[in-house]
Structure 1
């Protein structure tokens, strides 16, 4: 609320000052007849500003997700430019503002033209109004609670109107230099947070991929629901897990702008001030890095006895594309070396994917751990030009299975859980298919989300079976040339876009057959403890790195139901591993459990009792909050496999 209040107050005071000074001058000159046309100019400017704000908001809501992020980036850049200009202009003109306006009004009266007075009031208000619209729109898009932010803006504008009235009536004199310096500093803090938000939306729009590695872990400080979160996120624009690009943008804007605003009045700002601020910027970056390390702890090392293999994703594919390893636990560290063609790496045994890392855009890295037995395994980097596939040759002696009874119990429990969910999936899909084949569109729509829930809880298992996952769950843009589009989303498109089931009977039959195949495969499937940890992490990655955009259930907008299933599947798997983890690292176990609770609490807020609204109604701030909570959970979860290592 405070940022929007300050924006409304400052921008409103600027407009109120101009209008109040002109009105006061006219009253003193005995020209009350000229007040009416002046107020007409004010009213026209306000109406135009409100209309532009409404149009921008409607346009933002109607655009597809990526285009929304692009528009928000443009608005953010405009808002940053506006606040920078506003701060500089007011520092230079605040002292002489009253005299300048009185001279302009006197000249208009001498010319006998009331249209000049109308124009003065109109352009003064429309300039401040458009600045307010753009700046507030940018702030609302990043606010956790747009309603509260809107109330803050209204209160700020109301205070501004009161100040303007007091100036008009002669009841108050305002120290403009001091007022604009204080509010200017607050706006610098708000704008610095807006810079970080704009960098984030530029990445979401696909315009900026550099510097996307995690710079800090402030989750220990920016705790959702706490007063520190309200202050740091709401006021300063800090996020729990800022990237390098966001951090650099924040500091590089904040330091010179704050120095400019706080520079003593009457003392010329040196031309080399930006250069002189360099050491301060570096010092502030260092302080933030130290703060970011304060609660995050150290990354867990590779598990005891585990080998580490580093791989890179390139335009060619996997680098290297041929590996020779000894049997045993192996941690694969995968880094995207800057390619836009390849974003995932898989290790396969036959047609089954044992481990993978997905959604690694340029500059990002990730890892997974497997216990490999002697034999040949396939290496896959889909999308590569010359090294899309490779081979991993494992030699040496066979590795004995874990003799930890708690890990053995976890594996047994997971096998039972996966098969139970697969059986439930068949039951739910059968009901969904029956409605589709009966031509009952409304019934099919009501069954759609429920039919997907069991699948989303065990999705990593389905993904391990080659083409089975694409057959069941491919989105339209996932379908390769020459392949047929089948599965949930093919039917979803027909139900919501065409409001029809025409032609869907064969697709529905295939969907049922595919989930029955999945259920049959899970009956005899064996797992390693590492696969449980990898699968739990994979479910969180699904939400935080891809599904959060709303592209998964793009026709029905039932994404929140999918998210809950993904998180619940991950939490169930973690719960099976928790006894073994608690014996080895109780601090990590407690940290993960608390972060799961935070994510579940956020989902419960979005959909009380599991009754979720359309994801299209969930604003960007709520999406970002959810993504950050899941990302904050994924960080300690990434240590799970290593912490359980023998």
Structure 2
């Protein structure tokens, strides 16, 4: 529940801040007449994310076990790719997001394409919604505790909406650079865990060699563990010490992607992802300027205020 709560909070707040910036700008330029179209776009984006989640959840029932594992593994890889891209995209474009969004609104209004406002609202929220849906679905598949995972996600989204509204009203201040820095680091670790589970799914589906394939090294009638199991056996098996379905196993899997029994390909994929993506992420944090404008680049403010004054660097 904690892992999915933080994901819902992080992704939901990103979407809430984007919508807050768009709403505040339209109010500031006295174009409240197009706000309903913006909300139509947001609603369509939410409906798309929910629809994708429903298709993934109920559509898998008619598939064979191997097909379910194959699709689950591939979609988990897509989720890892989207999360990774969004982490670095936020690092790179956070300081210019407000200007970019307002420029898109200006172009849509200037060309008379008022339905372009619908598209702006849709695109701004849809990418967050699809990313969140795929990531949560992948985590639900790996955790196996659907009610708790979904409850955590819903609570996180609700908290994001409330926090986004408070930020928009100027009732609370939040150092967004620090917030997205910490949650971005958490998402890197979560994505590494999802990648490891994707490898597990693909191995079970027979798409990748591993402990379930004919290439697995056999010692004493069972798949080898440790050095003898390299590269297609088990890297370790701690099931006797940490039961796979225990609370401790769930906490470790939700936080660092640890599973009591992991193959060598899983461990290698997890380690490489953490080494490469983690290093790039930390370096990206170090390159960010320390001036005040960078500490709260996305915070929307009440419509009666001057957004450029509150954004500092604009």
TM over 0.5: yes
Structure 1 pair 222–255 and aligned structure 2 pair: CA distance change class (3 A)? farther
TM-superposition CA deviations, 1:416-465 (whole Å, max 9, x none): xxxxxxxxxxxxxxxxxxxxxxxxxxxxxxxxxxxxxxxxxxxxxxxxxx
| Higher helix residue share | 2
Which 4+ residue blocks in structure 1 deviate beyond 6 angstroms?
A: none
For residue 201 of structure 1, report the CA deviation from its aligned partner: 0.7
Report matched runs for 1:26-425 at 5 Å: 26-210=26-210, 211-219=231-239, 222-223=242-243, 228-263=248-283, 265=285, 267=287
For residue 265 of structure 1, report the CA deviation from its aligned partner: 3.5
Distance in 1 (CA, whole Å) between partners of 2:286 and 2:79 is: 28
TM value normalised by structure 1? 0.40
Distance in 1 (CA, whole Å) between partners of 2:76 and 2:32 is: 41
Distance in 2 (CA, whole Å) between partners of 1:15 and 1:92 is: 17
Distance in 2 (CA, whole Å) between partners of 1:54 and 1:16 is: 23
Q: Is the 8 A contact 1:221 1:228 kept in 2?
A: no
TM value normalised by structure 2? 0.79
Q: What is the aligned partner in structure 1 of residue 307 from structure 2?
A: none
TM-superposition CA deviations, 1:343-362 (whole Å, max 9, x none): xxxxxxxxxxxxxxxxxxxx
Q: What is the aligned partner in structure 1 of residue 224 from structure 2?
A: none
Distance in 1 (CA, whole Å) between partners of 2:206 and 2:237 is: 24
- Coordinate RMSD, CA, aligned: 2.0
Report matched runs for 1:472-491 at 5 Å: none
Q: How many residues of Structure 1 are paired with residues of Structure 2 in the alignment?
A: 268
Q: Is the 8 A contact 1:24 1:169 kept in 2?
A: no
Distance in 2 (CA, whole Å) between partners of 1:75 and 1:54 is: 14
For residue 220 of structure 1, report the CA deviation from its aligned partner: 6.0
Q: Is the 8 A contact 1:13 1:160 kept in 2?
A: yes
TM-superposition CA deviations, 1:290-349 (whole Å, max 9, x none): xxxxxxxxxxxxxxxxxxxxxxxxxxxxxxxxxxxxxxxxxxxxxxxxxxxxxxxxxxxx
Secondary structure at 1:229's aligned position in 2?
helix
Q: Is the 8 A contact 1:95 1:177 kept in 2?
A: no
Q: Is the 8 A contact 1:181 1:262 kept in 2?
A: no
Instruction: After superposing the two structures, state which structure 1 stretch, 251-260 or 68-77, moved more.
Output: 251-260
Structure 1 pair 225–132 and aligned structure 2 pair: CA distance change class (3 A)? closer
Structure 1 pair 199–224 and aligned structure 2 pair: CA distance change class (3 A)? closer
Distance in 2 (CA, whole Å) between partners of 1:117 and 1:31 is: 11
For residue 246 of structure 1, report the CA deviation from its aligned partner: 1.0
Distance in 2 (CA, whole Å) between partners of 1:81 and 1:43 is: 25
Larger CA Rg, structure 1 vs 2: 1
Distance in 1 (CA, whole Å) between partners of 2:244 and 2:261 is: 13
- Structure 2 gaps of 5+ residues are 211-230, 289-314
Structure 1 pair 102–175 and aligned structure 2 pair: CA distance change class (3 A)? farther
Q: What is the aligned partner in structure 2 of residue 281 from structure 1?
A: none
For residue 248 of structure 1, report the CA deviation from its aligned partner: 0.7
Distance in 2 (CA, whole Å) between partners of 1:70 and 1:59 is: 14
Distance in 2 (CA, whole Å) between partners of 1:262 and 1:218 is: 31
Q: Is the 8 A contact 1:142 1:197 kept in 2?
A: yes
Distance in 1 (CA, whole Å) between partners of 2:67 and 2:186 is: 30
Distance in 1 (CA, whole Å) between partners of 2:276 and 2:15 is: 27
| Higher strand residue share | 1
Q: Is the 8 A contact 1:94 1:176 kept in 2?
A: no
Q: Which has the higher contact order (CA 8 A, sep 6+)?
A: 2
Distance in 2 (CA, whole Å) between partners of 1:237 and 1:265 is: 23
Distance in 2 (CA, whole Å) between partners of 1:144 and 1:122 is: 31
